Amino acid sequence: MKTPIEVFAPAKINLTLHVTGLRSDGYHLLDSLVGFADVGDRVILEPASKLSLRVTGPMAEGVPEDARNLCWRAAQAFGATVAITLEKHLPAAAGIGGGSSDAAAVLRGLQQMYDAPVPFDPMDLGADLPVCMLARAARMSGVGEQVAPADLPPLHAVLANPRVAVPTSAVFKALPGKNNPPMAALPAFSSARDSLRWLQDQRNDLEAPAISLQPVIEELLKQLSFLEGQWLTRMSGSGATCFALFETAGQAELGARDLRANNPDWWIEHCELT
Ligand SMILES: C[C@@](CO)(OP(=O)(O)O)[C@H](O)COP(=O)(O)OP(=O)(O)OC[C@H]1O[C@@H](n2ccc(N)nc2=O)[C@H](O)[C@@H]1O
Ligand SMILES: Nc1ncnc2c1ncn2[C@@H]1O[C@H](COP(=O)(O)OP(=O)(O)O)[C@@H](O)[C@H]1O
């Protein structure tokens, strides 16, 4: 067994998020094209006599170090005794799957460490777990349990969070219409430009309800729309993180620099999505 094991937990970006219905248990039916970024958290796993968790890194503040943390719950449900170090780079409660991606990274690392499959349904830890286990572009449907890998040309993005936490359940609750049209059929994209054109016509149905709870999201989307070279701006998941998409890495890097200059307190990163 090679130790310690280090696993990258990428930011999950809902490039589209169509809410198409409501299940009798209160969970919403989703149709979403999901991409993963080359920015994210880092999980380090070391064998130990008991389960422990230490949260470090620039975004560690306020992230629980006990059973409230999805990393802890993932390791516990796996039956693993490991010392987990979670290096937080992503904001929490931000619509980019921080907790879910961390938990999926723990499960991937434990599979490797114990040379054993995950002994439970990852969905038990949250609706975003199945897509985060895959950690590559996918179409997600059902309430999150159906995940089909998708071919997405690499896209360049600016991710921005105005540092307000938005609880997922509150945003779903604030959505008035539950039965919205699904995403269009996913074409075989021939280029980044082709996919950007297609994405322009899709939606995130949670954008308006999230704005009703945190109006700063509207201002954030406006500022992203001013960035040179952007093809579209949208919110990810239940917010408050929003993104602008670009054709080139250089445009995204300049976009992030310009946005930072006007909003020094926001969390802003440029990245590649795959
Ligand atoms: C909205 C999405 C889109 O990818 O992303 P985030 O905003 O969390 O990043 C996810 O579906 C979130 O997944 P996750 O954060 O794992 O959700 P869970 O812990 O299972 O559920 C949190 C709460 O969100 C609501 N919920 C979640 C998923 C779903 N399909 N329908 C829902 O109504 C429920 O109110 C639930 O109590
Ligand atoms: N590993 C984790 N990283 C960040 N937050 C976590 C983690 N585990 C549990 N949480 C808790 O889960 C809540 C939702 O965080 P997160 O999963 O990042 O949100 P979202 O589902 O919007 O992407 C936060 O309020 C936080 O306290």
Q: How far is CA 101 from CA 41, 108, 173, in A?
A: 8, 10, 24
Residue 225 — very low, low, confident or very high, per pLDDT cuts 50/70/90? Answer: very high
Residue ID of nearest Cα to ligand 2 atom 1: 99
Give the residue ranges of DSSP H helices in 8-97: 70-78
Ligand with the closest atom to the CA of 206: 1
Q: Residue holding tokens 């509207």?
A: 218
- Position 65 scores a pLDDT of 98
- Backbone φ, ψ for residue 36 (5° rounding): -120, 140
Write the DSSP symbol of residue 127: T
- Backbone φ, ψ for residue 2 (5° rounding): -85, 130
pLDDT at 2 over 70: no
Average pLDDT over residues 67-78: 98
Return the CA Rg of the chain: 18
Q: In degrees, to the nearest 5, what angle opens at C-alpha 43 toward C-alphas 42 and 47? A: 155
Average pLDDT over residues 81-107: 97
Average pLDDT over residues 154-183: 96
- Backbone φ, ψ for residue 38 (5° rounding): -90, 15
- Position 3 scores a pLDDT of 81
Q: How far is CA 233 from CA 52, 190, 230, in A?
A: 39, 21, 7
Report the C-alpha gap between 273 and 263 in whole angstroms: 23
Q: Residue holding tokens 């349904």?
A: 121
Residues of the chain with CATH 3.30.70.890: 151-273
Average pLDDT over residues 1-16: 91
- The binding site comprises 91-101
Ligand with the closest atom to the CA of 64: 2
> What would the pLDDT profile of 116-146 be if each residue is shown by its tens digit?
999 999 999 999 999 999 999 999 999 999 9
Residues of the chain with CATH 3.30.230.10: 5-142
Centre of ligand 2 to C-alpha 99, Å, is 4
CATH of domain 5-142: 3.30.230.10
Which residues contact residue 261 at a Cβ distance below 8 angstroms, ignoring those fewer than 6 apart? none
Assessment of whether the complete model's pTM goes beyond 0.95: yes
Token readout for 135 is 């950690």
- Position 1 scores a pLDDT of 55
Evaluate the omega torsion of the peptide bond into residue 240 and state whether it is cis, within 30 degrees of 0: yes
Q: Is the CB of 122 under 6 A from ligand 2?
A: no
CATH of domain 151-273: 3.30.70.890
Element (H, E) at 252: helix 249-262
Tell me what percent of the residues of the chain surpass a pLDDT of 70. Answer: 99
Write the DSSP symbol of residue 93: S
Nearest to 247 by CA among 271, 232, 224, 229: 229
- Catalytic residue ranges: 12, 128
